[in-house]
């Protein structure tokens, strides 16, 4: 399969809106149509060789899926232990919720305490491989500390722009990891404008969510992992706390790849987005039956990762929800917090508010008839509660 350090990598990139092919061996951002790009692989050639059996004994991080990842040379895999997080059986939470089975994918155990390590680990590795010299991103917090960590590990400078009310532990973390940290009186969308200026004036490479093609490749590994960790099958439902939506979009992409690789058939989990009541652009668009989401005004929530008023991948999120038979629901901050505490007491996992939101979503989804008592559900706790110490619900 591989020759020394060389890996197959992607064959090309593809515009998610128009299908236009774009060359993958140079640094790129969005497609010519201004939409996210997806990496494509020669899955036909990998079929029968890149199998669950072949992957089973491999290293316990996301690089176990290296044939369907974009990095071409193993020496460019910047690794800090990202991925292969535990999938924790939560029988007491299942009983409390009145559903057959609940699993918690504990992404808080990643480097820098959140699932952002997957996407940024991949994006920084690939940026290093393609010769980027200086990296930058706007962040709600966790992506900033993950970028800082992988930039430090790769020896590349990173500029991080975050809202000034980002949780204090995350700000300290970013600074301690050696990144250039700028605080802004505004939201992640305003931070994005500062990064764009730096891109134009100083040639920074922009690592914004879905504005480069590889963060989603790191995040998609969550889909491969859930399949492997359930013993070679997928659950009935997945609940994902959605900001920019990279993880949800990534897992949906992974399932398509897995079908083409012969790992699964046409079956898919119902995909559910949960957002905060104070910032729910995807939920609103979902309820209105729209293909794109309008920007949310005056976004407020203590779940920093969900304070994302607009997403470049909105149409991809809504498409995955629709095609999977899933849906979207919003929950207030104080209910997230209640479920952080119940989940903690039931499982031993101290979840981020975003993780609490996924549990809080279940009663609402059951009421709407979107989740049934018979379902086996995977909840994504996307970060560690330790990163939010001192933050309180805004409603």
Ligand X SMILES: Cc1ncc(COP(=O)(O)O)c(C=O)c1O
Residues that bind ligand X (CB under 6 A): 114, 116, 140, 142-143, 209, 241-247, 305, 352, 354, 382-383
Q: Give the residue with the Cβ less far from ligand X, 127 or 308.
A: 308
Q: How far is the CB of 388 from ligand X (least distance, A)?
A: 9
Q: How far is the CB of 113 from ligand X (least distance, A)?
A: 9
Q: How far is the CB of 131 from ligand X (least distance, A)?
A: 26
Q: Which of 32, 37, 31 is nearest to 10 (CA)?
A: 37
3-state secondary structure 87-135: EEECHHHHHHHCCCEEEEEEHHHCHHHECHHHHHHHHHHHHHHCCCCCE
Q: Give the residue with the Cβ less far from ligand X, 13 or 316.
A: 316
Q: Give the residue with the Cβ less far from ligand X, 261 or 283.
A: 283
Three-state secondary structure call for residue 248: helix
Q: Give the residue with the Cβ less far from ligand X, 43 or 62.
A: 62
* Nearest position to ligand X, beta carbon: 305
Q: Give the residue with the Cβ less far from ligand X, 198 or 243.
A: 243
Q: Which residues pair with 240 in a beta bridge?
A: 273
Q: How far is the CB of 59 from ligand X (least distance, A)?
A: 24
Q: Which of 293, 300, 296, 287 is nearest to 315 (CA)?
A: 293
Distances from the Cα of 375 to the Cα of 81, 236, 238, 342, 369, angstroms: 32, 6, 10, 20, 12
- 246: tokens are 């990279």
Compute φ and ψ for 52, nearest 5 degrees: -55, -35
- 117: tokens are 């390590």
Q: How far is the CB of 316 from ligand X (least distance, A)?
A: 11
Q: Give the residue with the Cβ less far from ligand X, 16 or 246.
A: 246
Find the helix or strand (DSSP H, E) in which 276 lies.
strand 270-276
Q: Give the residue with the Cβ less far from ligand X, 108 or 151.
A: 108
Q: How far is the CB of 241 from ligand X (least distance, A)?
A: 4
Q: How far is the CB of 373 from ligand X (least distance, A)?
A: 27
The CA distance from 339 to 337, in Å, is 5
21: alpha, beta or left? (left if phi > 0; alpha if psi -120 to 50): beta
Compute φ and ψ for 75, nearest 5 degrees: -70, -10
């Amino acid at each position: 399969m591989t020759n020394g350090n060389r890996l197959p990598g992607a064959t090309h990139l593809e515009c998610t809106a128009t299908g236009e092919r774009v060359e993958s061996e140079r640094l790129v951002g969005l497609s010519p149509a201004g939409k996210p790009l997806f990496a494509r692989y020669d899955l036909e050639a990998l079929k029968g060789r890149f199998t669950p059996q072949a992957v089973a004994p491999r290293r316990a991080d996301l690089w176990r899926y290296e044939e369907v990842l974009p990095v071409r040379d193993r020496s460019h895999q910047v690794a800090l232990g990202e991925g292969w997080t535990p999938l924790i059986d939560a029988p007491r939470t299942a009983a409390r919720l009145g559903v057959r089975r609940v699993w918690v994918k504990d992404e808080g155990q990643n480097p820098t305490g959140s699932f952002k390590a997957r996407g940024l680990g991949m994006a920084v590795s690939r940026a290093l491989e393609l010769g980027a010299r200086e990296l930058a991103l706007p962040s709600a917090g966790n992506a900033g500390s993950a970028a800082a960590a992988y930039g430090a590990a790769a020896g590349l400078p990173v500029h991080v722009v975050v809202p000034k009310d980002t949780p204090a532990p995350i700000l300290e973390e970013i600074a301690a990891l050696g990144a250039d940290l700028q605080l802004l009186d505004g939201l992640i969308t305003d931070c994005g404008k500062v990064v764009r200026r730096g891109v134009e004036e100083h040639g920074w490479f922009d690592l914004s969510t879905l504005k480069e093609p590889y963060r989603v490749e790191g995040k998609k590994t969550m889909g491969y992992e859930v399949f492997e960790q359930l013993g070679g099958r997928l659950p009935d439902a997945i609940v994902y706390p959605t900001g920019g939506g990279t993880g949800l979009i990534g897992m949906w992409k992974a399932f398509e790849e897995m079908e083409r690789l012969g790992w699964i058939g046409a079956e898919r989990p119902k995909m559910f987005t949960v957002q905060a009541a104070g910032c729910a652009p995807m939920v609103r668009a979902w309820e209105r039956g729209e293909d794109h989401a309008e920007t949310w005004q005056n976004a407020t929530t203590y779940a920093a990762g969900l304070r994302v008023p607009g997403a470049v991948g909105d149409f991809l999120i809504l498409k995955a929800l629709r095609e999977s038979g899933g849906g979207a629901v919003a929950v207030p901050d104080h209910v997230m917090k209640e479920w952080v505490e119940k989940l903690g007491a039931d499982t031993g996992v101290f979840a981020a508010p975003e993780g609490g939101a996924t549990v809080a979503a279940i009663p609402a989804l059951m009421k709407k008839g979107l989740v049934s008592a018979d379902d086996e559900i995977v909840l994504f706790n996307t970060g560690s509660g330790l990163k939010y110490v001192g933050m309180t619900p805004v409603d």
